[in-house]
Structure 1
């Protein structure tokens, strides 16, 4: 596995720095991003777009805002471009 890094995400006009980690698994990969202490995983779908596939609540039971998840997926794509 790769070392954690800070993923810059712009959401609602605010610049966030979220801890993320690339996880390579065989021929595929995913990103684990910590959002308010909760691990959110992003994998590519059939069209090559990133989507949130799982949320493991640790600190609370409120899932992240859908708009924030979209912003994170776009930030991942931007980092890889």
Structure 2
């Protein structure tokens, strides 16, 4: 089965965008294995210059790297 990533960046629980997206995602789930990222539920750290410098020297946050690979590998 092909895979799809859905990134929910809605800031409000009662979001019009989410209300429109949910039926679409539900229908697509019949054909795709869907991974859903809800930005408000993720423990994201703000990207600051020191983290960029770390990345430039090959030091990657393992969770972020895992998410990046998952998105890279989707259809």
TM-score band (shorter)? under 0.3
Task: Give the number of the structure whose alpha-carbon radius of gyration is greater.
Answer: 2
Higher strand proportion, which one? Answer: 1
Higher helix proportion, which one? Answer: 2
TM-score with structure 1 setting the length: 0.26
TM-score with structure 2 setting the length: 0.27
Bigger relative CO (Cα 8 Å, ≥ 6 apart): 2
